[in-house]
């Protein structure tokens, strides 16, 4: 079943469109659309192993996380200069604005770029320029989360953190991504402890392809504030109960889960079950250029497949605000905007 077969009612469509949204799980490299990839390849005189945009898009047929990552790291090779990172992030913000995103916490993978000789200052600089312009142009606020590649060693993660220290003010936290199986959170205890000492916030991908045990490790060893994905928590009822009790946000990415075969059919996704069990689940787009949809597409497909109610959709947007790294006053203001947006049609009917 493809997500395109799923439709929501006009009322829910309108609600999803107008709700102010917070995106907490978005890899900026995963917003590289094939058109931009080819434009940057040309500008930088880099050959992509595909004849054209259509051939690249046709390769977006993944059987698991690793088959996606292989292509994702290969296309990221076109990103070289400050201008390239600016173009990448600005094109994301333009789409995010169209989808009603008001705040985004963006992952980026410095190791994917520094290994190719890209200057870390150019990565931070280009992303920062776009974040500033997105704020001025669209009113979108944003933060950066520096992710360590978990298929590499902890020593390399420590070196990456060290290299990023001159830019400490540019990022709010650290995360952990890339191939999960065989690379448990426990491999990164020291670098996460160091990040926390530096006052950085910490998150980690866990329980996407890896077992529920990796979620416990992320919580208890890395002491994360949120779990990215986390959908395999379901294999352990005690863990689900703990996530609900402690209100630990899960940044779920339904279309990613479908595209990477974490679930076979969106109608079997455990998102609604977790929501109804009291877990603070949120909806996000992960790598939208590769997975067939940005954040509003993820909301629509999930609502349609799982029969989410209007109140549940609103609750999901509120979970994202509460789970974000916005200041308390900003959270309160944004929750007020969500309530106002959710109430609008009712007020019109009453009048
Ligand atoms: N999982 C792990 N690493 C990633 C992902 C993901 O979904 N997207 C980009 N890097
Ligand atoms: Zn991810």
Is the beta carbon of 287 within 6 A of some atom in ligand 1? yes
Is the beta carbon of 318 within 6 A of some atom in ligand 1? no
For residue 256, which atom of ligand 1 is closest to its CA?
Answer: 7
Percentages helix, strand, coil for the chain, rounded to the nearest 5? 60, 15, 30
What does the pLDDT read at residue 6?
73
Flag whether 19 is in a domain.
yes
Flag whether 350 is in a domain.
no
Express each pLDDT in 13-51 by its tens digit. 999 999 999 999 999 999 999 999 999 999 999 999 999
How far is it between the farthest Cα atoms of the chain?
64
Q: What one-character DSSP code corresponds to residue 64?
A: S
pLDDT at residue 127 above 70? yes
Flag whether 349 is in a domain.
no
Q: What one-character DSSP code corresponds to residue 190?
A: H
Ligand 2 being an ion, which residues bring their Cβ within 5 A of it?
Answer: 286
pLDDT at residue 346 above 90? no
The Cα 54–Cα 337 span in angstroms is 40
Ligand 1 pocket test: which of 146, 150, 177, 207 has the largest number of ligand atoms within 8 Å of its C-beta? 177
- Ligand nearest to the Cα of 148, by number: 1
Flag whether 63 is in a domain.
yes
Flag whether 59 is in a domain.
yes
What does the pLDDT read at residue 349?
52
User: Which residue shows structure tokens 């603070």?
Assistant: 280
User: Would you call 23 exposed, middle or buried from its count of C-beta atoms within 10 A (0-12, 13-18, 19+)?
Assistant: buried
Token pair recorded at residue 243: 């996530």
Ligand 1 pocket test: which of 31, 32, 69, 180 has the largest number of ligand atoms within 8 Å of its C-beta? 69
Domain count for the chain = 1
- Ligand nearest to the Cα of 30, by number: 1
The Cα 220–Cα 160 span in angstroms is 23
Q: Whose CA is nearest to atom 3 of ligand 1?
A: 178
Is the beta carbon of 30 within 6 A of some atom in ligand 1? yes
pLDDT at residue 308 above 80? yes
Neighbours of 157 (CB within 10 A): 25
The Cα 232–Cα 215 span in angstroms is 8
CATH number (domain holding residue 293): 3.20.20.140
For residue 209, which atom of ligand 1 is closest to its CA?
Answer: 1
- Domain of residue 94 covers 3-343
- What mean pLDDT is reported for the chain? 96
What does the pLDDT read at residue 1?
42
Of the candidates 346, 256, 343, the one whose C-alpha atom is nearest the C-alpha of residue 19 is: 343
DSSP 232-249: GGGG-HHHHHHHHHTT--
Q: Whose CA is nearest to atom 4 of ligand 1?
A: 178
35 is catalytic: no
- Ligand nearest to the Cα of 207, by number: 1
Flag whether 313 is in a domain.
yes
Mean pLDDT of 327-347: 90
Flag whether 129 is in a domain.
yes
What does the pLDDT read at residue 351?
46
Among 29, 33, 180, 208, which one carries the catalytic annotation?
A: 208
Is the beta carbon of 65 within 6 A of some atom in ligand 1? yes
- Asked whether the CA dihedral 24, 296, 302, 210 is positive or negative, the reply is negative
Residues in the chain: 351
Ligand 1 pocket test: which of 25, 60, 208 has the largest number of ligand atoms within 8 Å of its C-beta? 208
Express each pLDDT in 228-279 by its tens digit. 999 999 999 999 999 999 999 999 999 999 999 999 999 999 999 999 999 9
Flag whether 151 is in a domain.
yes
The Cα 19–Cα 343 span in angstroms is 10
Chain centroid offset of residue 54 CA: 25
User: Which residue shows structure tokens 């009048």?
Assistant: 351
């Amino acid at each position: 079943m493809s997500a395109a077969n799923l439709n929501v009612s006009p009322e829910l469509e309108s609600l999803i469109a107008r709700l102010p949204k917070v995106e907490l799980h978005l890899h900026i490299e995963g917003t590289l659309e094939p058109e931009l990839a080819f434009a940057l390849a040309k500008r930088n005189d880099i050959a992509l192993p595909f004849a054209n945009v259509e051939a690249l898009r046709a390769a977006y047929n993944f059987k698991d996380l690793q088959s996606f990552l292989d292509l994702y790291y290969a296309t990221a090779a076109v990103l070289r200069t400050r201008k390239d990172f600016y173009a990448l992030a600005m094109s994301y913000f333009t789409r995010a604005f169209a989808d009603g995103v008001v705040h985004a916490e963006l992952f980026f993978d410095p190791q994917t770029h520094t290994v190719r000789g890209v200057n870390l200052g150019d990565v931070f600089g280009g992303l920062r320029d776009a974040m500033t312009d997105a704020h001025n142009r669209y009113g979108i606020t944003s933060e950066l989360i520096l992710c360590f590649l978990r298929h590499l060693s902890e020593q390399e993660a420590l070196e990456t953190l060290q290299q990023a220290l001159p830019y400490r003010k540019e990022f709010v936290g650290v995360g952990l991504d890339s191939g999960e199986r065989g690379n448990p959170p426990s491999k990164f205890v020291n670098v996460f402890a160091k990040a926390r000492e530096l006052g950085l916030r910490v998150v980690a991908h866990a329980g996407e392809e890896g077992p529920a045990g990796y979620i416990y490790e992320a919580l208890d060893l890395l002491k994360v504030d949120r779990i990215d994905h986390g959908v395999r928590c379901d294999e352990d009822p005690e863990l689900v109960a703990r996530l609900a009790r402690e209100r630990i946000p899960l940044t779920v990415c339904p279309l990613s889960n479908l595209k990477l075969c974490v679930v076979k059919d969106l109608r079997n996704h455990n998102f609604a079950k977790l929501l109804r069990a009291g877990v603070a689940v949120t909806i996000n787009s992960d790598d939208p250029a590769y997975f067939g949809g940005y954040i509003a597409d993820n909301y629509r497909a999930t609502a349609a497949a799982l029969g989410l109610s209007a109140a549940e959709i609103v609750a999901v947007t509120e979970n994202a605000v509460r789970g974000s790294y916005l200041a308390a006053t900003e959270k309160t203001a944004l929750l007020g905007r969500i309530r106002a947006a959710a109430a609008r049609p009712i007020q019109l009917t009453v009048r």
